[in-house]
Structure 1
Amino acid sequence: MNVFYRFIIKILMPVSLLISFYASALTESGTVIKNQAGATYRDSAGIERSTTSNLVETVVQPVAAMTLTFDQSKLAAAGGQVTFTHVLTNTGNVTDTYDFDIVLPGGAVISGASIYPDNSPNDGVEDAGAAAIDPNADIIGPLAPGESYSFVIVTDISASAALNSSDSLTITATSQQVNVNGVPVATGMVGTETNTDTVTVTDLPIIDITKAISADNGAAPSGPYTVTFTYTNVGVTDMDPANTNGVILKDELPEGMRFNGGVNWSVSGTQLTASGVTSGGNGTDGTSDLTFTTCINDAINCPTRDIVEFTMDGLASNESATVSFEVMIDNGAPAGTVYNTGIYGFDQDDSGQVDPGEVESTNTNTVPFRINAEYSVIANNGGCDAGTDNNCDGNDDTNHEIVNVPTAKQGERVYFTNYIWNTSNAEDTFNITHESSTFPAGTSFYIYKSDGVTPLVDTDNDSNPDTGVIPASGQTCRSYQVTDVNGNCGYKVVLVATLPPNATGGPYEVVKRATSSNDISKTNTVTDELSAIEQSTVDLTNNFRAETSSTVEDNCDAADDNCGFGAGAETTAVTTNTVEPGKTTRFTLYVTNTSAVADGYKLEYSDSDFSAGDLPAGWTVVFKDSTDNVITGIPVLAPDATFLVYADVTIPDTAATTTQSIYFKVTSETTGATDTKHDAVTVDNSGLCVGSSNNLSGVTHVGGSKVYTHTLTNNSNDPVGPVTIAVANSIAGFNTVIYEDTDGSGDLTGADASITSIASIPANSNVLFFAKVLVPANAQEGVINLTTITLTSPCGVLEIIDSTRVSNTNMEVVKEQAHDTDCNGTADSPFVTSQLSVEPGKCVLYQLIATNVGIKDALNVSIEDVSPAYTSFIVTGGVPSITAGTLNNILDGSTGAIIGSAGTVIPGDSVTVTFGIKIDE
């Protein structure tokens, strides 16, 4: 009957028995994939702006997976033993433990079997002094992702086993991992593996070969290390040493490991020297002979990996011998564990030679060698061809150490692009920090991804923003990375320094540091330098905004435009208003930010240049905004923005006829930017008999209208009339209609009639009338129309000026995510902004919703995002998509940026970009 052994393991194997490598097949369990979108757009004033979405996080689910190598067939003598070597490797993304089940056949060949560890050293035989693994108690592990455990099964052969009879046993390893921190382990991968070991009984010679190496790890470069093959005749029949090819052994070394000569054969006791890279050497001891050949990488007709092959005489029963040689580890060999297995054949039928069918018939045990990671990093300005990512140099830490920006404005956002190069033999992630700044106090620093828009996030969950994984030197760089002339992979990181608004001078420096996440002692810096900060400027003008390099205004682009263009104060008054005693006159001022950064300003007045607040006795000045609210300063203006200010100057009743200079001044208390403008007021005592309320201003939208209410007063004791009304608009297409208050309601109604004159105004009384300004549908946003109403009476002419303008817009971006378990482009759960848990190989849909929350159209709307670390785009089932506009071309399985061009978005409307990503396996 079959004998069934179940190894239920509870003893934790020592860590020294574990063999590690550093390249897991799956994204590590618990990895939090963080992603944050950015968008750029232009507002109604033409200013380019940026905004970022909320941060969304996706947690990689734990997955159990494993390999068990390999099925084997060996010869054995009746009453003897045969050893089978196996390697168990954790290929999942979570630390795991395992139990073994061994099933012995019920036949007459295999009488028993014991399992032993083979890790100290890993040489194909049970570890010295190690106890057999208890079939009822022991647990294998824990093994971290990528770790391996080597073991041997020593199989006993029945003394009564018949010649040429065969039988097999099976060894099964099963994952014991169920959940991690309460999260169920995914079972879609391989959780159980089985190998079959087959034995055939013979009374002929049996050669068994084991392999060992003198160390299990080393740097790149390092060596020499000695590889030793021990070959033994475990059969009951002697092999004739006169036959010169009783055993043929071949070893093809893994990439990164090179043959270094030093061949020794225990039979001769002498070192054998190779005569060339494609030849070899030989040794002789009495009737025993050994020859070897080599085929070295780069030699003609040789493969990329070194090969050494030995042909040796056979051995007598129970006789052993060794053959060894030296190997070196290449400079720059990628970090990780390389595995090496020899393959051999021997004269199984005792015919006097190794027949063709016997060559390369049996594998030795597999020996691991860990090439240690030698982490290193360079941070510099790239050293690339100007304006490109071509011909960069990631090895030069001297000539490309400075990233220089020549000039910047006060308060400006200054962009420094740094290249972070992985110059090591292992993939790595680099934390990015900034330090040692000589920038002015109040400077704030922000770190962005290569696009300069998307925030740099933490991808390795150590709370520091980082580059994400950068492949080792010589490996293939990812699509969003840069490859230099030395084969290094680099990532561009953008540091944005927002300058304080009052700073000037220079030069200034800030040091940016890149630090290896795997070895924090490996770090490198690059210096970002700003040569100078320019002084901010402002221009105070009359009636029209000042022209700038960004905005054309032909009415105010030179000193002779009589608008106060340029730095003041002017020698003569720019504008002179005439007013009666006891009345108020209004100056229409524009404050234009002619700097490259936002700024705010205080308003001042004087009767000289300049003593703030000084005026003739009884005179007053009040500043108002476009909606007639009293102000003393101007809110922050974006670069090239302008602000309308009304300066209302009130004259006392007793004022004599004169022309009085008035100086207006704007000053930034933040940057020191300032400008002064010279105006004047002429007091007229000629006795106008008709008066009116002040000039008015208002705001409306394109195609809308604005109604202004005015009162015309007869200040005399006699009736005045007729009064003719003439209307002029400063901008073509605007229309103004005058209505009388026909129904006496005080508001413009359908009962009120339009008029062009007033027949008569009774003595000491007034007439109410309305000016309705109609804005054309093609009016430009931001323009200000001046409506001049001229009232002509027998005793004088009265002029009223009403001004009408428009307003701005704003965009908002919200990012949501949803499960797409089967990766078909259709959400399997509602879209949320909260965290999701997704396992490797599954998909997530992202939805970017950009909404115009303002009252005017947003122009040139661009919605941008990038594929997060550890993911790639999916193109299926209608994703990616945009509800309005176009997307850049996205390929299935690619990485990088996705850009939606939505054009114009009207107030209240939204544009949605939907795309999917797949988590790396």
Structure 2
Amino acid sequence: MKHQHSFWVTTSAIAIASLIGASAMAAGPEAGSVIGNQATATYTNAAGDTITVTSNKVETVVQQVAGLTLTSDNTEEIAPGGKAFLPHIITNDGNGPDTYTLTAIEGAGDFDFNSVVIYADANMDGVADNATPITETPTLAPGETFGIVIVATAPSTAAGGDSEAVTVTATSQLDGNIAAINTDTMTVSTGAIMELVKSMVVDKSAGDPNIVDAGDTVSVTLTYTNTGLAPSTSYIVTDALDLDLPYVAASAQWTDVTVAGGLDETNGGAIDATNGVGETLAWQADTVSNQVGFLISNVDPGRTGAVTFDVVVGPDAVAGIIENVAQQSDSTGTLPPSNTASIIIDEQFAHVIDDSFTQSDATVLRSSTDDNGANDVVLESTDVSQGGKIAFEFVIGNASNQSDAYTLNVANGDFPLGTTFSIVGADGATPIIGEIPLAAGDGTKVFVIATLPSDVTPTAAGATNYTATVSATSSESGQVNTSTAEFNGAVLGAAVDLENAVAGSEGDGPNPDNGGSAWVTTATDPGEPVSFPMTIENQGPTSDNYNLELANPLPDGWTVEFQLADGTIVTNTGTIPAGATETITVVITPADDAAPATTPFEVVLTSPISGQGDSIIDAVTVNEIIDLSITADQTAQAAPGGVVDILHTLTNDGNVAITEGAITEAGLSEFSGAIYYDANGNGELDATDPIIDNINDIPGGIAVGETVNLIYRVQTSEVPGMTEAGTITVATSLNGGTKTDQDLTDNAVEDQIVVVSGDVVLVKTQAIDPACDGTVGTFSKNRQDVEPGQCIRYRIEASNTGTQAVSDVAIKDIVPAYTAYETCGGTCSAAVSPVASTVDVSAVPLISSAHGGLVPGSTASLEFTVRVDQ
């Protein structure tokens, strides 16, 4: 016996390609995407001011373009009068949906085919889906693939060695100029041509005849036929079975010879059977790799035979298709693989919600909170305080043969009225919203949290027996499984005491009363925080935590913070052990405009577990504050002899309304100025806005926290470059001398007014460079169309439209999304003008240029190119 060592052959690349459908995603922007950006420029004018200007925005719309890939060329042998089956795959490489016209045209070879027909192969298994010819694909989305099979029939007169080719073309219907071509070459062979057909049939004589599931037997048949004109010698077939279809030992038979007890897979490749014409067969099976195979000494022309064997559907086989392809070879080398055979595992549903579940990998999930062993009841015996939470850990298991998802619900049995239930994840905290998905054979843990009402009656251990029913409903089958949450621990009472840490004003005991007065009163300014140190003592039987809040809201603009001893701001104390004391500080901050007054507040402490709590009343006295502020110093530009309106805001930062106080302006000599009240608050000087020199010119004065607009109108001289400073001052003696401003640092502003004549305008345009070779179309500010792979040339121009030179002109831009900086091999590198300017592309996607000075009427520009992604 020869070639016994050659049973296990490597799966051919062709076979793999016929089973795996390539999926490509369009890398460039999809049709309709908009590419756009703006440029900026900075310059220094004659007054030394650095000014920034922004260009208009330009946009480019990506157009749909066609693209495709056709794979791949085939080289086959064909017998005279035989057929060739030639698979191909079309991929839409364009950036939008497209349909492709299909043609298969034979060449001028040694013979003419009787027929060449194209069939659909949507699942890309190399086998036609049906007997209906097609001439085009369905519509394919960008990146989507579609399979076809060309069936070519040779005439019986074709001679050995003759060859013929079929040219397969797919052409875009979006753009008829976009096409892809494969060439299939067939050579007539007078030698052996082996066809291998694999079938898998499920034996439904046992079990449910309507379903295919774990434990079912599958009969596999490998039928071989020599359609050639010469014998095939040392013919080998190997079949790498799916691991969910384990081979059944001693089940193999050769149709030529019946062997009692089946073909022997344990004899190391020795001959297992000989047929009536002396042909021998050796059979092997490897139960570890689940690979089988056989070697036949020779197969004569026209001979057909088969090897059958059984596999069984494994316990972990999931619902869906299981496919297999067998490989073949002989003394001449590797031969084409078999067709793709398959079975469909039907859906089977089962699940549990329990205190334990054994997963498909044999891992056992067990409830960590259950106190009484495996009995489908999760028992919790640990004592809990009033208002406390009881955590029950349940295990959900998917015993189905496919993925499923489960909705959980809790129905109260005899927990106290007012008990609430929540379902959280295995971390014990994250709420579960919606369904819980589980793969076949997997399990997970969840917690059902029962929160007792804070007023539940305390009970001794064993005196309670609270139960609730927890259900899990399958989203796929609707099946429901239930379990029980049970509690029989004690319900303990709780207590807490909140006190001031100020000796003599502690306020000891629950909700202490101080004869209607606050226990501690502290004075502060508006906007200035004041601290009240306190202590919290957990007088209950178990550790607890407490929410911190005020019984009633503070006045508008006031804030409260609760700080732990380390300064951490909290709204809950965190866990305090039974009998322990925690220190906190309550920080009250009055509003910036808080009126002079005493404001009491009540701090309330409540346990979210037990509902028990305590409170205490303290107070804050706000001092009287008088403070007007005017902002802010500004630098303004005006044309020679022109006017400039400078907007300032005057704010009452105190807590007393201001109705009187002088407002003066000074400092101008060559320029002149006046102060106006912006009566309608629109930030602009209107004809009805009055000139003022006192707050009493403002109707109603300035209320606490109010801000009014003042407009300082200044008329300049006619000398370019002249600068003067004007000062506006608000008096410190206010309200007829009864009030004095307490902060003198913000009562005046100084404005610098500069006479200038320079001005720079920035304009951005774009032009399409279709070939990315520097040959561009017309530059425009308007939207233009571009295709993936084409280029856009941007031009940014900075023009001095003023009457004086400017200096330090710099233009900045950025390469937009969906594009990359492009030089076209140097033919479209970034460029600047005038010649003395420089360009910097070292920090791409940032691009900048430096142009120095610009005299009136001159222009500096920056140009660069980007290529649209494809």
For the aligned pair, the TM-score class normalised by the smaller chain equals 0.3 to 0.5
Structure 2 length-normalised TM: 0.43
Structure 1 length-normalised TM: 0.41
